[in-house]
Structures are given as structure tokens and as C-alpha cells.
Structure 1
Amino acid sequence: MKMDRRAFLSHAAAAGLLLPATAARAEPKLVREDYAVARERFRTHLTQTGPSPDPPQPLSPPHGARRVDYRSGPLKLVAWVSENADASRPRPGVLVLHGGNALWPGHWDDLAHPFVKAGYVAMIPAMRGENGLPGSFSGFYDETADVLAVADVLRAYPGVDPARLYIAGHSVGGTLTLLAAMSRHPFRAAAAYAGNPDARAFFRHFPEDIRFDVDDPQEFDMRSPVCFAGSFKCPVLMLHGSKEMNSDHAVRLTVSRARAAGLDVRRAIVEGDHSSAIPGESAEALRFFETI
């Protein structure tokens, strides 16, 4: 699985995409409005349109999975689902969101397989603009709509118990997990691995991923779970590796704000770095889901 990201900071600076230093220092604001309500009226303004920054990979399903087509608005997109679904014996379902900005075969083995092994029906989608699929990459926002659309497909999938639908994701998928968990009610619980809840901090590290109007602060707010921490619709576990502490403050702030709103949102640190912590994060997510 591709874990390293592009670091073309000099190119981004030349293109004028680096964020102002004042934005870098500002504490993320707390928005009292419910995130789902805010999404109903907000439309992201993309200043660039086109595919995701990561090179596309073939969407042939890996061993143990089959391809499923799904629609997100007018877009026809693709997901992989495990072959263990049995309509006569409903199982819990888990929507797994990959890291990076393309679906790779290794994502199935690293992220989905632990849930399949534990008896879940797992589905992992590619989103708009990824892997040669239609639509424009937006950096979290419109991709959240894709996550919600494919969640409906998994919830209705033969052999999935709709009352036991979970969501988990790593890195970019971890942030999308948080945004989806505060958008609607279909999930019983959510686990985010190494997801950065502060979009301003994320895009400072990856300015080449910016496709939206940086002069509009709301563009960043609507991509930042920390700003809407009172909006989670299910219990949430936020995880990261012991050797990747760059987002720890934002994670702590998100948890603190959510708990102040009376929500069941927790954090845990797993031994390892961005990649090596994944097996431990998957184990923690499974334990967490079993308690809900």
C-alpha cells in the first residue's frame, strides 16, 4: 500500500497554494451549527477540476473480493466488497476508507482483511476522480458525499445486518470517516486511524492537494471535523501511531469538544508509525466496535 504522499512544496509555493502563516497559527474555531445542516447549504468552490493527485491503479478486485458499482449523484463509481456475504446469515458490515487519493490492492489486505477475518462484510470504495473514475477531486468535501452514497449500498447489501453498520478509515480515509460520522446516522460506530481533523494543518503539509478557494475560511471549516466536534452521530474512536504525533493536539481538541457536548468520542495511541500502526489500529477498532 502506498503510504508516502507527494511533497512538492516548492511547486506549491510557486503556484501560490501555501496557506498564510496566520492561518497556520490559529486555533480551529468551534462551529455550533450541526455539520449535516451546514452541508445542506454549503457548496465547495473548486478553483481547479480534474482527477485526484495520485496515479490511478486498475480496479480489478483482489482475491476474496468482488467489484460493486455504486452511484454518487450522477457519478458511477466502484467499490470492492468481500465475498463472505450470506443472505441467510446477516453479518455486521464495515465500510473501510483507504488512505491516499487512490485505491490500491494493498489497501484491501492491510485495511479490509482484518474485518473480513473477524466475520464482517467489508466494502472499500474508490471515490470521485480516483483510479480513472469520473468526477473532480475536491479534497475531502465532495468525497464525503461518495462515502455516504456507498454506505447506503453496503447497508442494503444482501447478507449485511443494517443495524450493525460500521465505518473505519486510515489517513485521508480517517478524516473522511470523521466527516461521514457527523453527516448522517447510518453508522453504529466509527474508527479513524491517523486522520487529521484539522484541514488547515493537513493542507499545510499537502498544499498540492488544494483544489478549492483558499480565501474562503469556510472551505477549510467544512473539511475540519475539529470545527464541528459536537456533530458526531455515533460513538467514535480516534487512533494514531505513537511515532506520528503531529495531529495529536487536534485529535485531543476534537475529543474534548465532543465530550463537552455529551458525545462518546475517544482517543487511543497505538505503537508504531503511519504505516506500522495499522494492524494495532485495526485490532483496537474491532474491540471498540464489539463494545458498541
Structure 2
Amino acid sequence: MVKSSTSAMPILFNCPHCQKPYRIKSELAGRKLKCRECQQAIHIPKPIKNQELEELNSSPEPPRRLPPRRSPAPVLISKSSSNDRVRGSSIPKGKNHLALIVSLIVGTLVMSPFICCGLFSSLSAPSRTPITARTTPKSPSKTTRKTSSRVSIEKDIPYLKRRAELETSLKYEQPSPQEYEAFTTPVGVEKVHYESNGLQLQAWVDRRGVKTEKSPTIVYFHGGFAIGETSITEACAPFRNAGYVVMCPTVRGENGNAGNFELFLGEVDDAAAACRWIAKQNYVDSDRIYTFGHSVGGGISALLSLQEDVPVVCTGSSGGLYPVSTFYEWINIVPFRMKNYDELELRSLIGNVKWMQTPHIAYIGTTDFGFHSTIRKANNEKKGEFSLIVEKVRGDHFTSFTPSAQKYIHYIESLPKSE
């Protein structure tokens, strides 16, 4: 039986400055503490009670926007803190199996990346026919559209058919929940625009590392819900240094773009459109286009593997293999009505692996514990299929990113080249 009070439940939240995850006793709600990672003062939020979740899900008021961060994109941490090393270390010898299980459960709660990247984060030819029916924004708040029956329960119905029959029911028509900070395009990088379902969206193309007239290309999807300069300068460095053209697109509702925040639905259409746009550029080897993303961007990259007619060889992600349960962790920012389970199921690769169109390789940090149950689900689901590869990489949700990107480069370089 679910308890109606949260008095005994811990408060899970992230530092709004550096995104370090915390698990604090509920009786400390409202107090201040100094972040152990960045030394900034932060307020401990109040816990959300179970009855409040339903109110959030049905409230006509739009959710508050997340505060801006100095670096909206994932901050790449060059070395682990002492706390990270403790969390990543093995359990001392002499502990029995019960202690092992308890330690893993506690670690899962502490390091859950779902809260890290959403709730408190300050944080490619498009189909010949659009896969989903969608309308442009026309009302300020409640949007009620006819939704499909729960056809997605029928697992024999292909993913793309189920997706085509869904008209999303948005609670709010508004942009991304994360505010953004304008930045100057780095020297040597070109700012461009691409079109997706009638929307003009921003992207940045970095050709500083190219070595050939027509170069292999990575379409990189940033973490969080807004792009920052660090996505272009730091996150993409491994791909740029390896000689790839790198495209960093934004999607609908981000960084001043038109369109509504849909959370892993229309944004995936935009990602496909970005891939199609870059494939037409004369400096790109159209037979060697790949995608990669971190965190939320990894989730978008993973969902691209379910789309058809996207001109990419392979998709990849770091900390982005999200299950349906993620949306319950992100209740404060979920823009759609969760009572229709189709809305959840069509936004996750897990549960739809059999319908993959393009291979995907998902890297998960060894101490990114929130994804470890997802690994088991994915391995159980693929049942010998090789369209989805899941590999653990040393590190947490952030420190595993750079080694994951390097492993992905090595992986795609090993793929056979087309004649």
C-alpha cells in the first residue's frame, strides 16, 4: 500500500549550480547547505507528496521554468571528485550478500540520473511523410486533442504505426522548461538553420577538425533542455579531434526556437530532420553519418534508431537509455497527459527494441546506478538481436561521457566502409 505522507521519504535533488545529486532527510527541507562539489549555497527543496503528483499532472497552470545554468550543456568533469571515487569503489571484503544488496539500493537512490537530468536540472531524409500528426501552437495553456486508444499494448503492431496514430495530448503549449543564456558562436564554427515540420531551428556546424574534402560526420545531441557553448567547445572535442564534421542541433522550443516542448516526441522528428539536412551538405560523406548524445540528448539519439529513412549508419548515447519510469521522476516538467500510456511508451526505446531500424550502442557509467535496471530490461528484451548494444563504461553520469565518446569513435571506425 502506498503511503500518503512523505515524512519518512528522503528528498532527492541536484545542486542547481553543478548538478551534483543529493539525498537528504525530509526533516531538513527548507534549510541551506553548502554543495560539496562547487561550494555554492543551495536550498533543500520540500518533498513532493503523492497527492501532489496527481495535482501536478492535471493542473491547468504551466510548470515553472527551470533556472538558468552557467553551462546549460552537460559539464564535462575531467577528473572524479573524492566522493565519486568512493561511490565507484567496490564494497570492502567481508561484507555479506545482504550488505551488498543494501549498498546497491542506496547507491541507486543517490545517483539516479533521471532526477539529475530532468527534474532539478538547470539543466535525418525527415520522413517523406511526417510520422506524427502535429499542429502549431494556437492556445496558451491546456491542449486537448483526440488521442489514440491504447493500441501500443499490442506489441505486434509496429512502433512507427503506433506512433503515426498518436496525436499527443499536451497539458501546456510552451517552450523548453530550461531557460538558456545567449552565447557567441565560437570562432571557426558556423551557425546554421534547418527546417523540421515547418519550424526553423538553430544548429552549429564545426568543421575545424576535418581532414578530407568529404568528411565523416557526427550529429551531436546535447544534454539537458537547452544548448550552451560548452556543448560545442568541450563535449564535441573528441569527435572534432578525430577528424569529424560535428553538427550540434537544437530542437523545438529550445534556445528561442519556435515550437512546443514535447519531451522525446516532436524533438525526435527534429533530430531526424537535422540528420537529413547535414547529409545534403557538399562537405559531408553521406555514407558515414552517425549520431551521439549525452543524457537527454542520448535519449533522443536512442529514439532515432526507431525512425525510418534517417541517413545514419549508427546511433549512440551516453547515459541516455531511458525507461518509461523516467517520466514519473520528471513529473514537474512532463508536458503531456500521462494517463494515456501510449504517450509514455512511444517515448522510450525500451519496450520497442524489436522495431529498431538503425543499430544503437548505449554506454552506461558503472556508477550511473539509475540506469542499471534499464540494462537488464534491454538485455532481456533484445533476446539475441544485435541492433542494440549496451556497454558499461567506468564513471558516473558525467565522468563516463568522454570515455564513452572515445569508445564510440573507435566502434564506428571499425565498421566496414561502403564501396
Aligning the two structures, in what range does the TM-score lie when normalised by the shorter sequence?
Answer: 0.7 to 0.9
Find the aligned partners of 1:84 and 1:76 in 2 and give their Cα distance: 25
Deviation at 1:11, TM superposition (A): 9.0
Partners of 1:33 and 1:228 within 8 A in 2: no
Alignment match, 2:321? 196
Decide which structure has the larger Cα Rg and report it: 2
Structure 1-normalised TM-score? 0.87
Find the aligned partners of 2:196 and 2:382 in 1 and give their Cα distance: 29
Alignment match, 1:24? none
Find the aligned partners of 1:245 and 1:99 in 2 and give their Cα distance: 18
Find the aligned partners of 1:30 and 1:229 in 2 and give their Cα distance: 14
Find the aligned partners of 1:208 and 1:136 in 2 and give their Cα distance: 16
Pick from 272, 278, 286 the counterpart of residue 401 of structure 2. Answer: 278
Closer, same or farther in 2 for the Cα pair 1:115/1:32, shift >3 Å? farther
Question: What amino acid is the match of 1:188?
Answer: V
Question: What amino acid is the match of 2:395?
Answer: G
> Which residues in structure 2 correspond to 1:35-74 (within 5 Å)?
35-58=159-182, 60-74=184-198
Deviation at 1:197, TM superposition (A): 2.7
Alignment match, 1:148? 272
> Which residues in structure 2 correspond to 1:92-171 (within 5 Å)?
92-171=216-295
Find the aligned partners of 1:86 and 1:64 in 2 and give their Cα distance: 12
SS of the residue corresponding to residue 236 of structure 2 reads helix
Partners of 1:237 and 1:288 within 8 A in 2: no
Find the aligned partners of 1:250 and 1:215 in 2 and give their Cα distance: 22
Question: What amino acid is the match of 1:195?
Answer: G
Find the aligned partners of 2:284 and 2:158 in 1 and give their Cα distance: 29
Alignment match, 1:25? none
TM-superposition CA deviations, 1:248-272 (whole Å, max 9, x none): 2223322442344x33321111111
Find the aligned partners of 2:219 and 2:377 in 1 and give their Cα distance: 26
Find the aligned partners of 2:231 and 2:341 in 1 and give their Cα distance: 33
Find the aligned partners of 1:151 and 1:31 in 2 and give their Cα distance: 29
Question: What amino acid is the match of 1:76?
Answer: Q
Partners of 1:18 and 1:204 within 8 A in 2: no
Alignment match, 1:219? 343
Higher relative contact order (CA closer than 8 Å, sequence separation 6+):
1
Deviation at 1:9, TM superposition (A): 6.0
Find the aligned partners of 1:122 and 1:235 in 2 and give their Cα distance: 20
Closer, same or farther in 2 for the Cα pair 1:88/1:272, shift >3 Å? closer
SS of the residue corresponding to residue 247 of structure 1 reads helix
Closer, same or farther in 2 for the Cα pair 1:74/1:249, shift >3 Å? same
Task: Determine what percentage of the aligned residue pairs are the same residue.
Answer: 24
Partners of 1:92 and 1:120 within 8 A in 2: yes
TM-superposition CA deviations, 1:23-71 (whole Å, max 9, x none): xxxxx97833332333222221111110111112225423442101011
SS of the residue corresponding to residue 67 of structure 1 reads strand
SS of the residue corresponding to residue 48 of structure 2 reads helix
TM-superposition CA deviations, 1:195-250 (whole Å, max 9, x none): 1331x321222212211011100000010111211122222211111111212222
Alignment match, 1:17? 56
Closer, same or farther in 2 for the Cα pair 1:73/1:5, shift >3 Å? farther
Aligned pair count? 281
Find the aligned partners of 1:123 and 1:8 in 2 and give their Cα distance: 40
Deviation at 1:8, TM superposition (A): 8.0
SS of the residue corresponding to residue 95 of structure 1 reads strand
Closer, same or farther in 2 for the Cα pair 1:134/1:164, shift >3 Å? same
Question: What amino acid is the match of 1:194?
Answer: G
Question: What amino acid is the match of 2:186?
Answer: P
Q: Does 1:247 align with 2:371?
A: yes
Partners of 2:214 and 2:284 within 8 A in 1: yes
Structure 2-normalised TM-score? 0.62
Closer, same or farther in 2 for the Cα pair 1:40/1:29, shift >3 Å? closer
Closer, same or farther in 2 for the Cα pair 1:87/1:114, shift >3 Å? closer
Gaps of 5+ in 1: 20-27
Find the aligned partners of 1:142 and 1:288 in 2 and give their Cα distance: 29
Find the aligned partners of 2:183 and 2:304 in 1 and give their Cα distance: 23
Question: What amino acid is the match of 1:192?
Answer: S
Question: What amino acid is the match of 1:95?
Answer: V
Find the aligned partners of 2:46 and 2:327 in 1 and give their Cα distance: 12
Of 5-14 and 230-239, deviating more is 5-14
Of 86-95 and 116-125, deviating more is 86-95
